């Protein structure tokens, strides 16, 4: 991950129709596939809607209590598991005014702990519906709200800040929350092709930063989703003139997204996808050290030790003082050597120790060869001696 990334929620936008995590049906920790529908659950008739007078609504909601007494509205169990509930405090402008996924919305948000403690108030929080820019409780319930509607939302920690809690805003671990929400505005996302380069760079950077927030919290699937959206922004065509400097800056954002996506995919054990992200990053920046390092790790995890070692050596050559690369390379070289030794031992066992057998055969042949030479020499000597003796006998007789 890029340590320099800021981790904060910011107003975000995207092109309408862009795929989001909620659309993808990807199963991740807090959502089961059966909880995700193509359309939001139907909102129960609260007896209000367009026909309800605004004056009457304002008088009935003058009480600032987050759950004012006397309201006849029933709680809506959003996901059917009683962990995320919504109640209308003040009716809006009708179902046709509900925001759509991909639109930019603005809400007034008050966040309380269940004991009534105010966590934070955000008068004009902006985000893109369905992009994972905010906690899931908001992403899932705001799409059920009508324009101008005020609602009370109660959510389990599962759809808020989870077991980790949050430092900003300050939320304890496993905390249930009560959210008071008013839907102020919903607009279509801008056309990326007509977006000025500076705004496109800023938008992609904000999506990447949101991905970094998910990564730091261990929500790796949501991180991949945010990085994917940022990449789509950087890769979108443009009908607006862009300077070489802006092109380089946009490319830098793209490579950072690919690197961070590879890191998230590694955490999810999606090795093929992580390798593809690294290859894409290196296609744009062949000497990118982070991409080389992560590619080396992916190859090692896939058992491609030779290629992994070569990749890490290239990264180390570019940055010889990098201790992390040194450590990873040393560990990998040692592991590769141990694997080769184990393979050789296995081959010897399978083939009946052929090397030892060959040595013995060669030794036996050498011994046999020396034995044959000595026997031949002894025989030749005996024949020679016999010939001399026979000559002496014949001479004596003569």
Number of domains within the chain: 2
Instruction: Work out the percent of the chain whose per-residue pLDDT is above 70.
Output: 67
| CA neighbor of 120 nearest in space, from 135, 141, 98 | 135
Q: Are residues 206 and 176 in the same domain?
A: no
Identify the pLDDT of residue 62. Answer: 40
Give the total residue count for the chain.
398
| Domain stop point among 154, 188, 222 | 188
The distance from CA 308 to its chain's CA centroid, rounded to whole angstroms, is: 21
Which of 147, 162, 188 marks a domain boundary? Answer: 188
Please tell me whether residues 203 and 323 are part of one structural domain: yes
Residue 282: per-residue pLDDT? 97
| Rounded Cα–Cα distance for residues 228 and 225 (Å) | 5
Same-domain status, 287 and 226: yes
Q: Are 200 and 233 in contact (CB under 8 A)?
A: yes
Tell me what percent of the residues of the chain surpass a pLDDT of 90.
61
Contacts for 248 with CB less than 8 Å, ≥ 6 apart: none
In degrees, to the nearest 5, what angle opens at C-alpha 195 toward C-alphas 194 and 198? 145
pLDDT in tens, 312-350: 999 999 999 999 999 999 988 888 777 666 666 676 777
Residue 118 to residue 55: CA distance in whole angstroms? 28
Query: Does residue 19 have a pLDDT over 90?
Result: no
Give bridge partners of residue 325 from the DSSP assignment.
none
Residue 253, token pair as written in the block: 């954002």
pLDDT class of 4 with cuts at 50, 70, 90: very low
Contact between 295 and 275 (Cβ < 8 Å)? yes
pTM exceeds 0.85: no
* Residues 205 and 172 both lie in one domain: no
Rounded-to-integer distance, Cα 212 and Cα 226, Å: 9
Q: Is 52 domain-assigned?
A: yes
Give the pLDDT score at 337: 77
112 shares its domain with 46: yes
Q: Are residues 94 and 120 in the same domain?
A: yes
- pLDDT tens sequence across 81-124: 999 999 999 999 999 999 999 999 999 999 999 999 999 999 99
The token duo for 361 is 């055969």
CATH no. for residue 98? 3.10.50.40
Question: Do residues 3 and 177 lie in contact, with contact meaning Cβ atoms separated by under 8 Å?
Answer: no
- Per the model's pLDDT, the better-predicted residue between 16 and 124 turns out to be 124
What CA dihedral angle connects 299, 300, 306 and 308, to 10 degrees?
60
Going by C-beta distance under 8 Å and a sequence separation of 6 or more, which residues neighbour residue 261?
211, 223, 224, 227, 228, 231, 274, 277
Is residue 353 in some structural domain?
no
**Is residue 114 one of the residues assigned to a domain?**
yes
Of 221 and 351, the structure prediction assigns the larger pLDDT to: 221
Average pLDDT over residues 196-201: 95
The whole-number pLDDT of residue 353 equals 56
Contacts 24+ apart (CB under 8 A), 208-211: 208/5, 208/253, 208/256, 208/257, 208/260, 209/5, 209/6, 209/7, 209/8, 209/10, 210/9, 210/10, 210/12, 210/131, 210/132, 210/133, 211/257, 211/260, 211/261, 211/264
Q: Which domain holds residue 222?
A: 198-348
pLDDT value for 26: 37
CATH, residue 327: 1.25.40.10
pLDDT at 46 over 80: no
Do 42 and 162 sit in the same domain of this protein?
Answer: yes
- Residue 103's nearest CA partner among 128, 125, 124, 137 is 128
Cα 109 from chain centroid (whole Å): 29
- Environment class of residue 367 by beta-carbon count within 10 Å: exposed (0-12), middle (13-18) or buried (19+)? exposed
Q: Pick the more confident residue, 356 or 184.
A: 184
| Whether residues 107 and 148 fall in one domain | yes
């Amino acid at each position: 991950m890029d340590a320099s990334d800021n981790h904060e929620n910011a107003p975000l936008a995207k092109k309408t129709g862009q795929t989001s995590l909620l659309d993808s049906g990807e199963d991740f920790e807090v959502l089961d596939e059966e909880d995700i529908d193509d359309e939001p659950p139907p909102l129960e008739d609260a007896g209000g809607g367009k026909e309800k007078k605004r004056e009457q609504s304002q008088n009935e909601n003058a009480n600032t209590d987050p759950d004012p007494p006397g309201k006849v509205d029933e709680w809506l169990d959003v996901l059917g598991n009683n962990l995320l509930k919504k109640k209308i405090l003040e009716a809006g402008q009708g179902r046709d005014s509900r925001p759509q996924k991909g639109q930019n919305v603005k809400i007034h948000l008050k966040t309380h702990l269940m004991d009534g403690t105010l966590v934070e108030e955000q008068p004009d929080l902006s985000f893109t519906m369905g992009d994972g820019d905010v906690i899931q409780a908001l992403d899932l319930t705001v799409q059920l709200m009508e324009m101008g509607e005020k609602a009370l939302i109660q959510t389990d920690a599962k759809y808020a800040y989870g077991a980790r809690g949050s430092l900003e805003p300050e939320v304890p671990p496993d905390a249930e929350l009560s959210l008071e929400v008013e839907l102020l505005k919903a607009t279509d996302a801008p056309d990326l092709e007509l977006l000025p380069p500076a705004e496109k760079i800023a938008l992609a950077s904000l999506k990447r930063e949101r991905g970094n927030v998910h990564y730091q919290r261990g929500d790796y699937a949501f991180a991949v989703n945010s990085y994917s959206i940022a990449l789509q922004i950087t890769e979108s065509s443009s009908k607006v003139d862009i300077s070489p400097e802006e092109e380089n800056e946009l490319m830098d954002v793209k490579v950072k997204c690919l690197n961070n996506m590879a890191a998230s995919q590694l955490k999810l054990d999606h090795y093929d996808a992580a390798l593809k992200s690294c290859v894409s990053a290196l296609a744009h920046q062949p000497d990118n050290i982070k991409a080389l390092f992560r590619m080396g790790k992916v190859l090692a995890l896939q058992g491609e030790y030779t290629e992994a070692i070569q990749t890490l050596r290239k990264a180390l050559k570019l940055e010889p003082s990098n201790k992390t690369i040194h450590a990873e390379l040393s560990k990998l070289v040692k592991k590769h050597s141990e694997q080769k030794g184990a393979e050789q031992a296995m081959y010897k066992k399978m083939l009946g120790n052929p090397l030892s057998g060959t040595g013995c055969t060669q030794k036996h042949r050498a011994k046999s060869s020396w034995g044959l030479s000595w026997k031949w020499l002894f025989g030749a000597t005996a024949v020679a001696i016999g010939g001399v003796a026979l000559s002496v006998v014949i001479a004596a007789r003569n």
